[in-house]
Chains A and B, each alone.
Chain A
Amino acid sequence: MKEEIRQTTTIAVASGKGGTGKTTVAVNLALTFSRAGKKTLLLDCDVEAPNAHIFLGTEGMESSRVTVRVPVVDESKCDGCGACGKACRFSAIVSLGGKALTFPSLCHACGGCVIACPNKAISEGEREIGAAFRGMFHGVDFAYGKLRIGEAMSPPLIRVVKKFKSDAELAIVDSPPGTSCPVVQSVRGSDYVALVTEPTPFGLHDLKLAVEMIREIGIPFGCIVNRAEAGDRLAHDFCLENDIPVIGAIPDDRRAAEAYSRGIPLIDALPDFKLLFEELGGKLIETAEACARKEVRR
């Protein structure tokens, strides 16, 4: 089946531990693919602490407010019956002193209270939870989200960033660290996940958690070992024992740390890293596209 419908192959870059190099990998891969002539989309889904724009730029980006629906109570119609509070599993609306009182920051926007109210006293308004940005940089179609300070729930904003439509052949998703709901929201729907780790005890421990999470979601994945030191087998051995393919390794190099600190993509700062990412990208794309084709056939 050669003439399949052209679709985007999506690769998510994730890690259990923070600071292992997700953004470095995502940005340098996106630039490498785009320079090789592929239409590439980069989605920075780490909306709590987005960093990819530091390496790409923000000039001329289009921004949009991102809102979620929240209940609005018409007090003239509310008789304080408490049906809304019974329907809400998140304690975001309760009946107090004969009137319904809302706690918008706890609301999941499920609409349950609106349905439950027998007096049709609840409608829905909007609450701003952050902003989404989009622009073109060095041939990469780039979008990111920025969670409003003090906002607890990032998944609704991540959903918005992931919905940016594009005719890209390749989409790279830069995920937040950890293994809980924001990460699940970021990597879901991807064809392949590249887990970035570092060969330290903390790195290895969090890699195990990330592997557990990705296996549960059921997406094919491989591992990239960052800050690899010659002869250090910690991460490699774990991958070998657990049948996890190692896609590649990025050497521990002070020059890389310095380029990163200044916000310069490694492939622009260091010719040897340009070659490294071309090789890494080639391997990754081959595997991810194979996974995507399998998904289409299924």
Chain B
Amino acid sequence: MKELTIVSGKGGAGKTSVAASFAALARDKAIADCDVDAADLHLVMEPAIKHREPFSGGSKAEINLEKCSSCGLCRTLCRFDAIDEDYKIDDFACEGCGVCTDNCPEKAALLIPRHAGELFVSNTRNGPMVHARLIPGEENSGKLVSLVRSRAREIAENEKLGLVLIDGSPGIGCPVIASVTGVSLLLIVTEPTLSGLHDLDRIASLAAHFGIPSAVCVNKFDINIEMTNSIEEYCAGKKLPVVGRIPYDTLVTKAQIAGVSVVEYSGGAAALEVSRVWKKTNYMLETC
């Protein structure tokens, strides 16, 4: 079984649009939306949820003011400034480390597990899909990403599907690391802007750091052809295969409004090229 993750470093480069198209083009796959704090793939997949499970992210401290003697030890020990003068916990500052609970002489501090989100297993017209929703402002998105990935792998194994198709999140931090470590191939979607190139370098360096094979495609390449050329030069220098140049096409947004992927919505320049990108990516997947 292979795993393909679509990432970009920079947000808004077109990861989810490409992932939705791949979901329509690939055969025998499970789909995983690993962008758990701004998940969008479900908007073009019409998932029928058949199973849900709660996700508990971490814990937050709570102080029982009836037991508290106001000795101040917890405030001295807490490194996150999470306890105010009235011994109230600031939930956004508390990391759930338990230093206050372990060291309170009155045992007035407790760690309370948090409900941080929900995971869904769904059926879609393009196969089974695992997705999730992290409650806005919650922590531990990496842990939820790992859970989504492992559920999708289980489904692929049980149903003898050859591929797990993963839509990643922007950036290079914890949720991205959780969605890329150990996968067969990364497809990096970038855009022909200086920011796109800069963030491509960040994510390509992350892939190299973990030794993950990667390919690149340039989305909206015709916004700035000079920049597209610079990106392809950068890729040549790093021995990163470029598997396509997707043109800017208003049909992509129209497909999104219609709730489908661009390859299901119409023909058109972008749909045609995305299909080509899939063929090349699939070939790389088969050989890696």
A1-59 residues at the B interface, CB under 8 angstroms: 16-20, 23, 46, 48-49, 51, 54
In the complex, which range does the number of interface residues on chain A fall in?
35 or more
Q: Is the CB of A149 within 8 A of B40?
A: no
A108-B97, A115-B102, A263-B194 are known contacts. Are A180 and B253 too (CB-CB below 8 A)? no
* Distance in angstroms between the alpha carbons of A264 and B81 in the assembled complex: 40
Contact partner, A51, options B8, B59, B77, B199, Cβ 8 Å: B199
Q: Is the CB of B95 within 8 A of A149?
A: no
Top 7 A-B residue pairs of the complex, sorted by shortest distance between their CB atoms: A18-B11, A19-B12, A110-B97, A213-B136, A48-B171, A261-B193, A152-B174
Q: A residues near B, CB below 8 A?
A: 16-20, 23, 46, 48-49, 51, 54, 87, 89-90, 108-112, 115-116, 147, 149-154, 176-184, 188, 200-202, 205-206, 209-210, 212-213, 216-217, 254, 257-258, 260-263
Q: Is the CB of A153 within 8 A of B174?
A: yes
Residue B209 interfacial (CB < 8 Å): yes
Q: Chain A residues with Cβ under 8 A from B202's Cβ?
A: 48-49, 149
Q: Chain B residues with Cβ under 8 A from A23's Cβ?
A: 195
Residue-wise, chain B 76-117 has the 8 Å CB interface mask toward A (1 for contact) of 010110000000000010011111001100000001000000
Q: Chain B residues with Cβ under 8 A from A262's Cβ?
A: 193-194, 224, 227
Q: Chain A residues with Cβ under 8 A from B192's Cβ?
A: 261
A179-B134, A180-B137, A201-B256 are known contacts. Are A152 and B173 too (CB-CB below 8 A)? yes
Q: Chain A residues with Cβ under 8 A from B58's Cβ?
A: 89
In the complex, which range does the number of interface residues on chain B fall in?
35 or more
Residue-wise, chain B 117-142 has the 8 Å CB interface mask toward A (1 for contact) of 00000000000000000101111011
6 contacts between A and B (CB under 8 A): A18-B12, A49-B11, A149-B172, A177-B171, A209-B136, A261-B224
Q: Is the CB of A176 within 8 A of B79?
A: no
Residue B235 interfacial (CB < 8 Å): no
B1-41 residues at the A interface, CB under 8 angstroms: 8-13, 16, 37-38, 40
Looking at the assembled complex, report how far the CB atom of B223 sits from the nearest CB atom of chain A, in whole angstroms.
Answer: 5
Residue B198 interfacial (CB < 8 Å): yes
Contact partner, A54, options B38, B136, B139, B194, Cβ 8 Å: B194
Q: Chain B residues with Cβ under 8 A from A213's Cβ?
A: 136-137
* Distance in angstroms between the alpha carbons of A201 and B59 in the assembled complex: 33
Q: Is the CB of B38 within 8 A of A19?
A: no
Looking at the assembled complex, report how far the CB atom of B248 sits from the nearest CB atom of chain A, in whole angstroms.
Answer: 9
Residue B49 interfacial (CB < 8 Å): no
* Distance in angstroms between the alpha carbons of A213 and B136 in the assembled complex: 5
Q: Chain B residues with Cβ under 8 A from A110's Cβ?
A: 79-80, 95, 97-99
* Distance in angstroms between the alpha carbons of A51 and B9 in the assembled complex: 11
Q: Chain A residues with Cβ under 8 A from B193's Cβ?
A: 260-263
Residue B215 interfacial (CB < 8 Å): no
Q: Is the CB of B209 within 8 A of A49?
A: no
Q: Chain A residues with Cβ under 8 A from B256's Cβ?
A: 200-202
Name the residue on B nearest A90 (C-beta). Answer: B97
* Distance in angstroms between the alpha carbons of A257 and B176 in the assembled complex: 27
Q: Chain A residues with Cβ under 8 A from B79's Cβ?
A: 109-111
Q: Chain A residues with Cβ under 8 A from B16's Cβ?
A: 202
Looking at the assembled complex, report how far the CB atom of A139 sits from the nearest CB atom of chain B, in whole angstroms.
Answer: 22
Q: Is the CB of B10 within 8 A of A179?
A: no
* Distance in angstroms between the alpha carbons of A182 and B134 in the assembled complex: 14
Q: Chain B residues with Cβ under 8 A from A217's Cβ?
A: 92, 137
Q: Is the CB of B11 within 8 A of A17?
A: yes
Residue-wise, chain B 206-250 has the 8 Å CB interface mask toward A (1 for contact) of 100110000000000001100100000000000000000000000
Looking at the assembled complex, report how far the CB atom of A125 sits from the nearest CB atom of chain B, in whole angstroms.
Answer: 16
Q: Chain B residues with Cβ under 8 A from A87's Cβ?
A: 98-99, 102
Q: Chain A residues with Cβ under 8 A from B199's Cβ?
A: 49, 51
* Distance in angstroms between the alpha carbons of A258 and B226 in the assembled complex: 11
Residue B177 interfacial (CB < 8 Å): yes
Looking at the assembled complex, report how far the CB atom of A35 sits from the nearest CB atom of chain B, in whole angstroms.
Answer: 22
Which of A152, A188, A217 neighbours the largest number of chain B CB atoms within 10 Å of its CB?
Answer: A152
Q: Chain A residues with Cβ under 8 A from B44's Cβ?
A: 201
Q: Is the CB of A147 within 8 A of B43?
A: no
* Distance in angstroms between the alpha carbons of A54 and B10 in the assembled complex: 13
In addition to A89-B96, A152-B177, A182-B171, 19 A-B residue pairs with Cβ atoms within 8 Å of each other are A18-B170, A19-B191, A48-B170, A48-B173, A49-B199, A89-B97, A110-B79, A115-B99, A149-B205, A153-B173, A154-B173, A176-B171, A177-B12, A177-B170, A177-B171, A202-B40, A205-B40, A205-B43, A206-B40
Name the residue on B nearest A212 (C-beta). Answer: B136
Name the residue on B nearest A112 (C-beta). Answer: B99
Looking at the assembled complex, report how far the CB atom of A72 sits from the nearest CB atom of chain B, in whole angstroms.
Answer: 17
Q: Chain B residues with Cβ under 8 A from A183's Cβ?
A: 137
Q: Is the CB of B13 within 8 A of A216?
A: no
Contact partner, A180, options B8, B139, B259, Cβ 8 Å: B139
Q: Is the CB of A115 within 8 A of B103?
A: yes
* Distance in angstroms between the alpha carbons of A222 and B26 in the assembled complex: 41
Q: Is the CB of A261 within 8 A of B134?
A: no
Name the residue on A nearest B59 (C-beta). Answer: A89
* Distance in angstroms between the alpha carbons of A202 and B210 in the assembled complex: 30
